[in-house]
Structure 1
Amino acid sequence: MPTRQLEILRLYRDLLRYSQTLKYTDVDFYLNRIKQEFAKGKLLQNEHEIVRQIEKGQEFLKNKRMI
């Protein structure tokens, strides 16, 4: 499996694991939103946009874990 796909899969799994730590957020809403975003991302063709979306997801996790 190419490195980019592994990176995306790792991000997806990390976001799903993060959902298990949520206390004040509707977990179903969060999970549906993650699934929607990854479904939209699957259609992306531009490498720059793909990298941008990956970085956006990683930054989200980084910021949430610091709190």
Structure 2
Amino acid sequence: MKVVMVLCIWVLVACSQEKPVEAAKPEGVIPQAQLRALEKAKAVEQTLLDADAARRAKADQATSPE
């Protein structure tokens, strides 16, 4: 009896007309979301570098003899 049920289920699954859903393919090698995240990270890095340069200049100005 179990064999008959398994065969019936197998036939129903094998004969189904549904096609597998394809995942959305990115347009390029790197997806746009990753490129935007990279651009934001570069902007944050530049902000940090500017703040560091300003801090160093201020420290140099404070320690230099006049």
Smaller-chain TM-score bracket: 0.3 to 0.5
TM-score norm. by structure 1 comes to 0.32
TM-score norm. by structure 2 comes to 0.33
By relative contact order (CA 8 Å, sep 6+), the higher-ranking structure is 1
Higher-Rg structure is 2
